[in-house]
Amino acid sequence: MRNTLGYRRAMDTITRFAPSPTGRLHVGNIRTALHNWMLARKAGGRFMLRIDDTDAERSEEHFVDAVRADLAWLGLEADGEERQSARLALYEDAFQKLKDAGRVYPAFETQQELELKRKIQLGRGLPPIYDRAALKLTEEERAANQAAGLAPHWRFRLDHEEAIGWDDGVRGAQKFDAAQLSDPVIRRADGSWLYMLPSAVDDIDMGITDVLRGEDHVSNTAVQVQMFTALGATPPAFAHEALLVGREGKLSKRLGSLGCDAFRERDMEPEALVALLARLGTSLPVEPIAQRQPLIDSFDLATFGRAPAKFDDAELERVNTAIVHQMNYADVSDRLPAGMDEAGWHAIRPNVGTVGEAAKWWALVTGPIKQPSFSAEDRAFLAEAAQQLEWGDNPWAKLTTRLKESTGRKGKALFLPLRQALTGMDHGPDMAELLPLMGEQEARARLAEA
C-alpha cells in the first residue's frame, strides 16, 4: 500500500494513540497515550489520534468527545486525527489485495463449534489454535454453505514458513512460530472489521513509525508483522510495555474505572498524573515534576522494565501535593475562593493537598470560627493578648515576643492558645502570615471572645 495521506516526512517519528469510543479512558489508556506523546515529542515528531470506531453498535459519539477532552486536560495535544469509520474504503482495498494473494479465506464455523474445538484441544494437551479446517473446504462446499444461508467470516492466513520476529523496544528480541498461532479473524460475517487488519492498514497509510502499546498486544503484533509484509510494507518499530496493576500487585478492575473524570472529581492536577504515569514502570524515580520538558528529555524505552507497573493512589496524592506546593498564585487564582489574594495563597499553600482545600483554610481568615473551651488560666492569658496586640509590620512576632516577656510562657503553652483563639484549630498555616490577613479588628474580636 502507498501512503495516501501525506503524514510522513523524511526522518519523522510518528506515533499514535488509538482508543475505541466505547467507554471513558482509564488510567492504563492514559499511560499509553502519554508515552506515545512523549516518544514523539522527544524525537521532534508527531503524535496522532486515531479513533477506532469500526464497531458501530458500541461506539458512541460522546465518548469521542470525552477522549478529546481528556487529552486536552492532560495537555497531550494531537498533531492530527483520523476516524476508522471514515476509512472503510482503505480496508476494503487491502482486503481485496490479500484475498487476491490467497492470504485471506472464508470460514463458516459458529462460535459454539469453535469453542468445542478449543475444549477438545485443551483436553488433549494441545494449544487451542484454529485447525484451519476451512482451508480444506472445496469450492462446492463453500457454495453449499452460502446457499444454506451461512455467511462466512474471514481469516488471515499466516505463512507458516515465514519467520516472525522483531526487536522490541522494551522486551528485546521476539520470535514466534507462525504454526503455533491461530489464523486471526479479520472480518465478521456481517462484513464489519475486527481490530487487526484496519490497524495495520492505518499504520501504513498514516506513516506510523513507532507503535508503543501494552504487552497484551504482543501476540497481535506477531500476526500483524506478517500483515505488513503481505501488504508490501515495512512494519513500524514495536515496543510493548508492562501493564498496570494495583498496589496489591494484582490486576484490578478498579484500575479500569479510574479515568480523567475520576481524577478531576478528586481535584488532582493533570501535571501530577502526568508526572506519575510518565515514569511508572521505569527505573527512573517518580518525582513531582510539573514541567513537561524534563519528563520528555528523560523518556527512554531502555528504562522500562518487564515487571508489572504498580499504580498507587497514595503515590499520586503525594505527587499532587508536592506539585500544588510549587504552584504560583497566577496558576490557581481562578480556582480560589472569593477574596483570596496572593498573600492568602502563599500563607495557605503549604497546608493543602489539592487546590480545592484552600477554601477550608481560607475560612479561618473570613470566619466565623468555632473556638474550643479554654481554662481560666488560658482565658486570662488571652485577655492579656488582646491588650498586648499591636498592629503594624509582623504583628504576630510582636505579640508573641511581648507575651513571652510578660507571662513567662514559651513553646506550646505560648503559641497553642493563641492559634486556637484566632483560628479554632490546633494546627494550620503559619500564623505570621495568617494574622495580617484577618485584619486587626477581627483578630482583636476573636481574642476578646476567647
Reduced to 3 DSSP states, what percent helix, strand and coil does the chain have, rounded to the nearest 5? 50, 10, 40
- Considering only CA atoms, give the Rg of the chain: 32
C-alpha cell at 144: 453449499
Q: Cβ of 138: how many Cβ atoms within 10 Å?
A: 8
Q: What are phi and psi of 76, to 5 degrees?
A: -100, 80
Pairing type for strands 81-83 and 104-107 reads unpaired
Which runs of E-coded beta strand occur in 220-295? Answer: 237-241, 244-245
Pairing type for strands 164-168 and 172-176 reads antiparallel
Q: What are phi and psi of 232, to 5 degrees?
A: 75, 25
DSSP 18: -
Q: What are phi and psi of 53, to 5 degrees?
A: -115, 35
Residue 42 assigned to a binding site: no
Burial of 234 (0-12, 13-18, 19+ CB in 10 A): exposed
C-alpha cell at 418: 493563641
Distances (CA, A) of 209 to 18, 147, 368: 14, 44, 61
**Helices and strands: H and E segment counts in the chain:** 19, 12
Sign of CA dihedral 98, 100, 103, 109: positive
Q: Cβ of 344: how many Cβ atoms within 10 Å?
A: 22
Annotated binding site for ATP: 253
Annotated binding-site members: 253
